[in-house]
Amino acid sequence: MLRQRFVLDTSALTDSTTRELEGYDTLCKGINGIMDIVADARLSFELSCYVPYPSVYNELHDFAKNNGCDEKVIAKIDTWLVKKTPDRYEVKIPSKIFYEYVDYMRSRVNKGMSVAEDAIWEAATECLFITSNAKNKKNIEIEIERNVIGSIIGKFRDKYRTALRYGILDSAPDIDVLLLAKELDAAVVASDMGIQRWAQQLGLRFVEAKTFPAIIKEYLHHVK
């Protein structure tokens, strides 16, 4: 009998692309539908889906409650997902991975610094131009605030987020997902690029959240 283990990140159940592909129009319907698929798979061929406890488990509960999901949806999370705390003391991570992560983080921080410097130069240049060309000095501050600063801050945030957050692990739940998958020799399910990158570095199987339901359906199709 085919047996599979998966460790789910929060995005495995909350990813918007997954909902669109599966035809669910709300987050609650998406979680409910995926949980039904997981339940069928667990009963049909003993597929096990794990979530790190309490980190990812609490995130899922918060998402469900904050989006108005009813108790049946939350009950399915509790029933069909196996809650387990990763063994943070016994799971071994090669020192090379730690070295590469620090080196990668340094490169991302440097890119973030470059984005910040560009934003500062742009703001200074725009302010100087407005100051030197303004006819009414009283309106300079209003003009700068409305038309310059807001626009530059918006662009800076987008570029900084891309520069600094792409491909990194930026939360404890992200790390818990990888540790638990390593401990269980399980596949990781997520839409997070940081988790994907470092799952590959650790030699873990990775399943994109958007393809996860289709994969389980394919298993079910052949089992039945």
**207: enclosing H helix or E strand:** strand 206-208
CB 44 within 8 A of CB 224: yes
- Is it true that the peptide bond before 54 is cis, omega within 30 degrees of 0? yes
Residue 166 confidence (pLDDT): 67
Sign of CA dihedral 20, 25, 28, 30: negative
CB 188 within 8 A of CB 181: yes
**Gyration radius (Cα) of the chain, Å:** 23
Residue 69 confidence (pLDDT): 96
Residue 100 confidence (pLDDT): 86
CATH code at 5-93+171-223: 3.40.50.1010
Residue 187 confidence (pLDDT): 97
Residue 1 confidence (pLDDT): 46
Give this prediction's pTM: 0.79
Three-state secondary structure call for residue 218: helix
Give the span between the Cα atoms of 9 and 3, in whole angstroms: 20
Listed as ranges, residues in the chain with pLDDT below 50 are 1
Give the span between the Cα atoms of 130 and 206, in whole angstroms: 51
Indicate the domain borders of the chain: 5-93+171-223, 95-165
CA distances from 113 to 29, 117, 118, 161 (A): 41, 6, 9, 12
Range 177-183, long-range pairs (CB < 8 A, 24+ positions): 177/7, 177/8, 177/9, 177/52, 177/56, 178/202, 178/204, 179/52, 179/86, 179/87, 179/88, 179/91, 180/7, 180/50, 180/52, 180/84, 180/86, 181/7, 182/91, 182/93, 183/86, 183/87, 183/90, 183/91
